[in-house]
Structure formats: C-alpha cells, structure tokens
C-alpha cells in the first residue's frame, strides 16, 4: 500500500510520507466492496429498522441479517442456526468459554466434568482472561505450554484431561507466531478422553486469525465452539460471530431481548453483518484464498530468505542444524546463546519455505538482536511502516509477549520481537521498502 493514508489527526509531516501498513494480524483495512455493501444499511432510506420488529423496516433488516448469517455459516461449514453474531473475537471467546462452563455448572453433578479447564498458554488474552476469571471462581485450570516450535502435542493434551475436565480451549492459528495447530488430531484426543470419562469434554477454538487464510469446516473439524472476527479479513470492526454446535450446552453471558435465539442479547448490527458477510464472500472464496495465500507466502518467504539468519527458539532436539540461512531449524540455538549479536535476525519459530499447512502465510515473527521491539517499531513508524512489536492487542504494555515467553524465550530475547503481518493490500513495494529499511537498520 504505497499511497498516503488520509489520517486527519496526524501531523502534517506524517501525512507527506508514504505509509506501508504491515500489521494485518492486528486489523486489516476495510475492503472497498465491504464499505460499498454496508453504506445503504447505514443511511435512513433502508435497513435502519430493528431486526426484531414485525413491520416492513424490521423485516427488511431481519432478512439482510439472516442472509449474511447464512452466507458466513456456509463458508465455515456450519448451519445458519449455529452462527451467533456478536461484537467481535473477544466477545466470541468470552461467550463460548463462560457460556459452556456456566451451563455445565447447572446441568452436571458437581463432581463430574465441570470444574476443570485446559487451555494453551499462547492463547489470545480474549481466551486467557475468561479462563482466569473462572479460576478465581473456583475452577482448576491447566495451562499447556507449546513446544519451542509453537505447537501443542496430542500427548500433552491427553495427559492434561481429567475426569473433571469440562472444556478445552486451543486456538487454531496463533496471532503472534502464526503456527497452525494440529486441531483435528487434538479434537480426536478430546473425543477419545470423553468416551473414556463417560461425559463429554467440550472443545473451543479461537479461529479469528484462521478465517480467510484456511478452508474451514466446523462440521469436519468437529469442535463445539469457535470464534471469528470481521475486521481481521477486511470487514468492519465491532462485529464477529461464534459457532455454537447444535446441542452444545450454553448459558448466554449477554442477556437481554432474546436476540440471536436467546444466545446474545442486543439489537443486531445489520450493516456490520452485511459487511462481515461481504468480507467472508471475498476472503473465503476458495480460488481467491489459494491465490492470495500463494502471493502472501511468497512475500513471507522472501522476507525470511533475505533477512533471517536463523531461528530464535530454544530448539534442542536431535535436529542440530547449523546456520543454513533458510529460516528453518537451527538446533544449536538456545535462548539466543552466543549468536545474539547485533545484526542477526531470526524467526521466533522455525518456518519452512512455502509452508502454509503449519504456518499462516501472512505472519512473520522476527527477533532482531541488539535492539528493543519498542525502539524498532518507533523507528519503523517514523520511516513510514506500521509494524507490531508482538500482539497489538497488548498495546501500551511494555511486558514481553506471553506467547514468546511460552515458547521458552528469555525476557531479553522476547523484547526484541517484531511481528510483520501481511494482507490483501500488501504489495511488492511494501516488501521492497521494508527489506531495504531493515537491512540498513541491522547493518
């Protein structure tokens, strides 16, 4: 994106400079088609009615909302009745976790599968916080650390489930390091454990970063709940949805006028639903997704090939490779070790060229030795680049990323993180400019 953003509240000097937006995992600019589709529903001519009312304006709003619901549900392999609109990914995660836990508390015997929750340590705060809340309310919580490559294993999940486990939450694609979890296998582990326990253990997945990057089918993935957000795929901010498999016990945390089948109270955001569906129609189109993944993956691989001289993890397996400059395994690195000198850039986890099965194509998690994330992102901003120091959702916090610490990195190393994330408007010019800047910065 080489044109200048028209940000009215920016200083003049900043308006003169071309901007390169490289923080799509934080949010994506709204697609023009989305804005166009939403506009008629934001004015006073049509669609302003309350979707719960019986007269014409309400019926119009309801028909549009239900059309949007059907379209999104189809794209994720769910029934329209299984998709609940809400305000975004954070609310969706909260609703799924607290909604299931609360429902089980009232329907299950106190000593059977309703007091224990398992989740991964690299979950987004939108998952970690409701889990922490439940812990304060008396739940036992087991937090699983990923291996140093950023994955939860079937063995560790199997070992964590007890006769009291109510719910497991493992995200599908990680927002800081881009790893895609082997979710189908993890779901199998949960299903097997459920059979052995004689009661169902529910599984929630945060699919916010996966939407539009991977073909999703809730039915075949076999999760019980999943969360989605529109603004990560070029839709509007302030709308998202959760998948709630038919028959899943759920006690709505947000109660009110019975909207969304009593599962999420509040007047529906009709224009938002239309914008969300339009973004899904574009981003989840299988041909578009494949082409876009290939294009973006090419950028990711080029960044790694031209900048990276190793991986920064604590990998200590038998794969003791050397500095092969391919951004993949370098098993001799331990928390930076002796190779932490200025100028060395590594990926925070190993990423194989062209791999879009285990890693999102659009997230490039880097560790830039000899600098601090904060300093580097400020320098990048001055030079016209919008890049995150980790997760934008923790903005304002100078704490090292909990995700990088969970990988086994030390605080010092985690404080050198830079997350580049790409999307639909990312161009070769953006990558050329970024590479030129970073090569100059570390030399």
d(CA 361, CA 354): 8
CB of 176 to ligand PLP, least distance (A): 8
Pick from 160, 165, 205, 229: which binds ligand PLP (CB under 6 A)?
229
Contact 130, 167 (CB under 8 A): no
Residue nearest to ligand PLP (CB): 89
CA angle 56, 62, 63 (to 5 degrees): 90
Does 201 contact ligand PLP by CB under 6 A? no
Does 181 contact ligand PLP by CB under 6 A? no
What is 108-154 written as a DSSP string?
Answer: S-TTSSSSEEEEETTS-HHHHHHHHHHHHTT-EEEEEPP-TTS---H
CB of 169 to ligand PLP, least distance (A): 11
CB of 209 to ligand PLP, least distance (A): 5
CB of 26 to ligand PLP, least distance (A): 6
Q: Residue 415: helix, strand or coil by DSSP?
A: coil
CB of 345 to ligand PLP, least distance (A): 23
Pick from 42, 393, 435, 442: which binds ligand PLP (CB under 6 A)?
393
Contact 22, 434 (CB under 8 A): yes
The total of other beta-carbon atoms located within 10 Å of residue 28's CB is 26
Subset of 231-260 contacting ligand PLP (CB under 6 A): 231, 240
Nearer to ligand PLP, 126 or 406 (CB): 126
Subset of 75-114 contacting ligand PLP (CB under 6 A): 88-90, 93
Segment interacting with ligand PLP, rule: CB under 6 A, options 100-108, 203-211, 346-354, 376-384: 203-211
Which of 46, 86, 284, 393 is flagged as catalytic?
Answer: 393
Nearer to ligand PLP, 38 or 171 (CB): 171
Q: Residue 44: helix, strand or coil by DSSP?
A: coil
Nearer to ligand PLP, 259 or 421 (CB): 421
User: Catalytic residue at 284?
Assistant: no
Cα–Cα distances (Å) from 250 to 101, 245, 321, 359, 392, in that order, read 8, 10, 49, 32, 30
268: closest CA among 439, 98, 64? 64
| Packing angle, helices 373-382 and 428-442, rounded to 10 | 130
CB of 391 to ligand PLP, least distance (A): 7
Nearer to ligand PLP, 116 or 124 (CB): 124
Subset of 273-332 contacting ligand PLP (CB under 6 A): none
Give the 3-state DSSP-derived string for 193-245, with helices as H, strands as E and coil as C. Answer: HHHHHCCCCEEEEECCCCECCECCCHHHHCCCEEEEECHHHCCCCCCEEEEEC
**330 φ, ψ (degrees, to nearest 5):** -140, 80
- Output the furthest CA–CA distance in the chain (Å, rounded): 71
Segment interacting with ligand PLP, rule: CB under 6 A, options 38-46, 206-214, 269-277, 409-417: 206-214
Residue 427, both tokens: 């161009």
Pick from 165, 175, 259, 421: which binds ligand PLP (CB under 6 A)?
175
Does 208 contact ligand PLP by CB under 6 A? yes
Binding site for ligand PLP (CB under 6 A): 88-90, 93, 124, 126, 171, 175, 206, 208-209, 229, 231, 240, 393
| Catalytic residue ranges | 393
């Amino acid at each position: 994106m080489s044109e200048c953003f028209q940000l009215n509240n920016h200083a003049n000097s900043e308006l003169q400079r071309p901007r390169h937006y490289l923080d799509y995992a934080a949010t994506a600019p709204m697609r023009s088609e989305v804005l166009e589709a939403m506009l008629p529903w934001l004015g006073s001519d049509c669609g302003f009615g309350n979707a719960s009312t019986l007269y014409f304006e309400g019926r119009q709003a309801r028909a549009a909302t239900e059309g949007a619901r059907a379209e999104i549900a189809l794209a994720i392999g769910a029934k329209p009745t299984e998709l609940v609109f809400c305000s975004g990914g954070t609310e969706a995660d909260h609703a799924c976790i607290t909604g299931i836990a609360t429902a089980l508390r009232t329907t299950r015997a106190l000593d059977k599968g309703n007091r224990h929750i398992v989740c991964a340590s690299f979950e987004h705060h939108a998952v970690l916080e409701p889990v922490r809340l439940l812990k304060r309310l008396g739940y036992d919580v087991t937090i699983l650390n990923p291996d140093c490559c950023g994955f939860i294993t079937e063995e560790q999940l199997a070992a964590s489930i007890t006769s009291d486990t109510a719910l497991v939450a493992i995200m599908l694609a990680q927002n800081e390091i881009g790893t895609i979890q082997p979710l189908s296998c993890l779901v199998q582990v949960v299903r097997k454990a459920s059979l052995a326990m004689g009661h169902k253990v529910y599984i929630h997945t945060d699919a916010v970063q996966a939407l539009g990057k991977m073909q999703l089918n809730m039915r075949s993935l076999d999760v019980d709940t999943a969360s989605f957000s529109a603004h990560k795929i070029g839709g509007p901010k302030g709308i998202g949805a959760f998948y709630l498999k038919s028959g899943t016990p759920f006690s709505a945390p947000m109660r009110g006028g019975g909207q969304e089948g009593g599962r999420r109270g509040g007047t529906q955001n009709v224009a938002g639903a239309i914008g969300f569906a339009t973004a899904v129609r574009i981003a989840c189109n299988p041909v578009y997704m494949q082409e876009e993944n290939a294009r973006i993956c090419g950028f990711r691989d080029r960044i790694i090939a031209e900048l990276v001289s190793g991986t920064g993890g604590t990998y200590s397996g038998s794969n003791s490779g050397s500095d092969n400059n391919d951004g993949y395994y370098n098993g001799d690195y331990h928390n930076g070790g002796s190779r932490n000198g200025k100028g060395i850039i590594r990926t925070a986890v190993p990423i194989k060229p062209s791999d879009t099965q285990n890693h999102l194509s659009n997230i490039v998690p880097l560790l830039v030795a000899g600098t601090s994330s904060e300093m580097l992102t400020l320098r990048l901003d001055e030079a016209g680049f919008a890049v995150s120091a980790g997760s934008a959702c923790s903005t304002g916090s100078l704490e090292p990323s909990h995700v990088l610490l969970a990988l086994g990195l030390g605080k010092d190393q985690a404080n050198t993180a830079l997350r580049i994330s790409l999307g639909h408007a990312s161009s070769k010019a953006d990558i050329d400019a970024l590479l030129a800047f970073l090569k100059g910065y570390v030399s």
